[in-house]
Structure 1
Protein backbone atom coordinates (compact mmCIF):
# COMPACT_ATOMS: atom_id res chain seq x y z
CA UNK A 1 0.00 0.00 0.00
CA UNK A 2 1.25 3.48 -0.85
CA UNK A 3 1.89 5.87 2.02
CA UNK A 4 0.08 9.23 1.82
CA UNK A 5 2.24 12.29 1.23
CA UNK A 6 2.00 16.00 0.39
CA UNK A 7 2.78 17.62 -2.97
CA UNK A 8 3.29 21.35 -3.32
CA UNK A 9 3.08 22.68 -6.87
CA UNK A 10 3.73 26.39 -7.21
CA UNK A 11 4.04 28.72 -10.20
CA UNK A 12 5.49 32.18 -9.73
CA UNK A 13 6.19 34.99 -12.16
CA UNK A 14 9.18 36.94 -10.88
CA UNK A 15 9.70 40.63 -11.64
CA UNK A 16 12.46 40.88 -14.27
CA UNK A 17 14.46 43.33 -12.18
CA UNK A 18 14.25 40.94 -9.18
CA UNK A 19 15.30 37.80 -11.08
CA UNK A 20 18.88 37.65 -9.78
CA UNK A 21 17.79 38.24 -6.19
CA UNK A 22 15.15 35.52 -6.47
CA UNK A 23 17.67 33.04 -7.88
CA UNK A 24 20.15 33.89 -5.15
CA UNK A 25 17.58 33.28 -2.40
CA UNK A 26 15.99 30.24 -4.04
CA UNK A 27 19.12 28.30 -4.92
CA UNK A 28 20.74 28.55 -1.49
CA UNK A 29 17.97 26.41 -0.02
CA UNK A 30 17.84 23.59 -2.57
CA UNK A 31 20.47 21.21 -1.19
CA UNK A 32 19.68 21.75 2.52
CA UNK A 33 15.99 21.21 1.78
CA UNK A 34 16.72 17.91 0.04
CA UNK A 35 18.47 16.79 3.26
CA UNK A 36 15.52 17.66 5.51
CA UNK A 37 13.76 14.93 7.40
CA UNK A 38 10.42 14.43 5.68
CA UNK A 39 11.51 15.67 2.25
CA UNK A 40 10.93 13.25 -0.63
CA UNK A 41 11.85 15.58 -3.51
CA UNK A 42 12.38 19.30 -4.03
CA UNK A 43 13.03 21.15 -7.28
CA UNK A 44 12.31 24.38 -9.06
CA UNK A 45 12.51 25.13 -12.75
CA UNK A 46 12.15 28.09 -15.05
CA UNK A 47 9.46 27.59 -17.68
CA UNK A 48 11.15 27.20 -21.06
CA UNK A 49 9.00 29.65 -23.02
CA UNK A 50 8.02 32.02 -20.21
CA UNK A 51 10.98 34.05 -18.94
CA UNK A 52 11.01 34.68 -15.19
CA UNK A 53 8.22 32.17 -14.56
CA UNK A 54 9.30 29.47 -12.12
CA UNK A 55 7.69 26.23 -11.04
CA UNK A 56 8.33 24.60 -7.68
CA UNK A 57 7.56 20.92 -7.30
CA UNK A 58 7.95 19.50 -3.81
CA UNK A 59 7.03 16.19 -2.21
CA UNK A 60 6.85 15.83 1.58
CA UNK A 61 6.12 12.88 3.84
CA UNK A 62 3.42 14.92 5.60
CA UNK A 63 2.12 18.43 6.15
CA UNK A 64 4.14 18.81 9.36
CA UNK A 65 7.37 18.28 7.40
CA UNK A 66 6.33 20.96 4.90
CA UNK A 67 5.46 23.41 7.67
CA UNK A 68 8.80 22.75 9.41
CA UNK A 69 10.57 23.39 6.09
CA UNK A 70 9.00 26.84 5.84
CA UNK A 71 10.68 27.80 9.14
CA UNK A 72 14.22 26.82 8.11
CA UNK A 73 16.86 29.61 8.12
CA UNK A 74 17.72 29.00 4.45
CA UNK A 75 14.04 29.41 3.44
CA UNK A 76 12.83 32.28 5.64
CA UNK A 77 14.83 34.98 3.78
CA UNK A 78 13.11 33.99 0.53
CA UNK A 79 9.70 34.04 2.20
CA UNK A 80 10.42 37.43 3.80
CA UNK A 81 11.15 39.02 0.40
CA UNK A 82 8.73 37.00 -1.69
CA UNK A 83 6.01 39.66 -1.94
CA UNK A 84 8.57 42.07 -3.39
CA UNK A 85 9.94 39.48 -5.85
CA UNK A 86 6.75 38.10 -7.34
CA UNK A 87 4.96 39.81 -10.22
CA UNK A 88 1.23 39.38 -9.63
CA UNK A 89 -0.15 36.61 -7.50
CA UNK A 90 1.42 33.26 -6.80
CA UNK A 91 -0.34 30.09 -7.89
CA UNK A 92 0.26 27.49 -5.17
CA UNK A 93 -1.52 24.20 -4.79
CA UNK A 94 -0.97 21.65 -2.04
CA UNK A 95 -2.20 18.14 -2.64
CA UNK A 96 -2.74 15.48 0.02
CA UNK A 97 -1.95 12.32 -1.95
CA UNK A 98 -3.42 9.12 -0.60
CA UNK A 99 -3.33 6.92 -3.69
CA UNK A 100 -0.97 6.99 -6.63
CA UNK A 101 0.69 4.76 -9.18
CA UNK A 102 4.11 4.90 -10.74
CA UNK A 103 4.66 4.75 -14.46
CA UNK A 104 2.04 4.77 -17.16
CA UNK A 105 1.15 1.08 -17.06
Structure 2
Protein backbone atom coordinates (compact mmCIF):
# COMPACT_ATOMS: atom_id res chain seq x y z
CA UNK A 1 0.00 0.00 0.00
CA UNK A 2 1.20 3.51 -0.84
CA UNK A 3 0.05 6.67 0.94
CA UNK A 4 0.27 10.06 -0.73
CA UNK A 5 0.21 13.23 1.35
CA UNK A 6 -0.20 16.34 -0.77
CA UNK A 7 -0.29 19.76 0.89
CA UNK A 8 -1.40 22.90 -0.91
CA UNK A 9 -2.30 26.50 -0.23
CA UNK A 10 -5.04 28.28 -2.15
CA UNK A 11 -4.92 31.90 -3.12
CA UNK A 12 -7.05 33.79 -0.59
CA UNK A 13 -9.69 34.63 -3.21
CA UNK A 14 -9.76 31.05 -4.56
CA UNK A 15 -10.46 29.00 -1.43
CA UNK A 16 -14.07 28.21 -2.33
CA UNK A 17 -13.20 27.31 -5.92
CA UNK A 18 -10.42 24.96 -4.83
CA UNK A 19 -12.68 23.37 -2.23
CA UNK A 20 -15.36 22.70 -4.85
CA UNK A 21 -12.86 21.15 -7.29
CA UNK A 22 -11.19 19.05 -4.59
CA UNK A 23 -14.43 17.67 -3.19
CA UNK A 24 -15.48 16.50 -6.66
CA UNK A 25 -12.06 14.89 -7.20
CA UNK A 26 -12.28 13.05 -3.88
CA UNK A 27 -15.83 11.83 -4.53
CA UNK A 28 -14.92 10.27 -7.88
CA UNK A 29 -11.45 9.03 -6.87
CA UNK A 30 -12.85 7.02 -3.95
CA UNK A 31 -14.69 4.85 -6.49
CA UNK A 32 -11.54 3.92 -8.42
CA UNK A 33 -10.20 0.39 -8.51
CA UNK A 34 -7.09 0.31 -6.35
CA UNK A 35 -8.12 3.19 -4.08
CA UNK A 36 -8.05 2.31 -0.38
CA UNK A 37 -8.98 5.77 0.92
CA UNK A 38 -8.96 9.36 -0.30
CA UNK A 39 -9.50 12.20 2.15
CA UNK A 40 -9.26 15.98 2.04
CA UNK A 41 -8.50 18.10 5.09
CA UNK A 42 -8.71 21.80 5.80
CA UNK A 43 -6.27 23.44 8.21
CA UNK A 44 -8.07 24.77 11.31
CA UNK A 45 -5.66 27.67 11.78
CA UNK A 46 -5.27 28.67 8.11
CA UNK A 47 -8.41 28.27 5.98
CA UNK A 48 -6.43 28.53 2.75
CA UNK A 49 -4.28 25.47 3.56
CA UNK A 50 -5.40 21.97 2.60
CA UNK A 51 -4.05 18.42 2.69
CA UNK A 52 -4.97 15.40 0.62
CA UNK A 53 -4.24 12.01 2.20
CA UNK A 54 -4.67 9.15 -0.24
CA UNK A 55 -4.00 5.44 0.12
CA UNK A 56 -3.58 3.29 -2.95
CA UNK A 57 -3.18 -0.46 -3.41
CA UNK A 58 0.05 -0.07 -5.43
CA UNK A 59 1.92 2.16 -7.88
CA UNK A 60 -0.14 0.84 -10.80
CA UNK A 61 -3.29 2.16 -9.09
CA UNK A 62 -1.65 5.57 -8.70
CA UNK A 63 -0.61 5.61 -12.35
CA UNK A 64 -4.15 4.71 -13.40
CA UNK A 65 -5.54 7.47 -11.16
CA UNK A 66 -3.14 10.03 -12.60
CA UNK A 67 -4.40 9.19 -16.10
CA UNK A 68 -8.11 9.63 -15.32
CA UNK A 69 -10.12 12.50 -16.81
CA UNK A 70 -11.25 13.70 -13.36
CA UNK A 71 -7.68 13.90 -12.03
CA UNK A 72 -6.46 15.71 -15.14
CA UNK A 73 -9.41 18.12 -14.94
CA UNK A 74 -8.46 18.90 -11.33
CA UNK A 75 -4.80 19.47 -12.26
CA UNK A 76 -5.77 21.75 -15.15
CA UNK A 77 -8.20 23.88 -13.13
CA UNK A 78 -6.56 23.86 -9.69
CA UNK A 79 -3.14 25.00 -10.82
CA UNK A 80 -4.33 28.56 -11.22
CA UNK A 81 -5.91 28.51 -7.74
CA UNK A 82 -2.75 27.57 -5.82
CA UNK A 83 -0.71 30.22 -4.03
CA UNK A 84 2.43 28.14 -4.55
CA UNK A 85 3.65 24.66 -5.45
CA UNK A 86 2.19 21.51 -3.96
CA UNK A 87 4.19 19.60 -1.39
CA UNK A 88 3.73 15.93 -2.32
CA UNK A 89 5.24 12.95 -0.45
CA UNK A 90 4.73 9.21 -0.95
CA UNK A 91 4.98 6.73 1.92
CA UNK A 92 4.86 2.98 2.33
CA UNK A 93 3.28 1.50 5.44
CA UNK A 94 5.84 -0.23 7.64
CA UNK A 95 3.53 -1.85 10.21
TM-score > 0.5, shorter chain as reference: yes
Matched, 1:33 2:26: no
RMSD of aligned alpha carbons: 1.3
Structure showing the higher helix proportion among its residues? 2
Q: Tell me the residue number matched to 1:45.
A: 41
| Uncovered stretches (5+) of structure 1, i.e. residues with no partner | 101-105
Give the structure with higher Rg (CA). Answer: 1
Distance 1:47 1:73 in 2: 28
| Uncovered stretches (5+) of structure 2, i.e. residues with no partner | none
Aligned counterpart for 1:63 among listed residues 48, 55, 59: 59
TM-score for both structures, normalised by structure 1: 0.82
The runs of 4+ residues in structure 1 deviating greater than 3 Å are none
Q: Which string of whole-angstrom CA distances, capped at 9 and with x for unpartnered residues, describes residues 56-104 of structure 1?
A: 0000001110121122222211101232111122111011x2521xxxx
**Does the aligned pair in 2 maintain the 1:22–1:78 contact within 8 Å?**
no
Q: Secondary structure at the match of 1:93?
A: strand
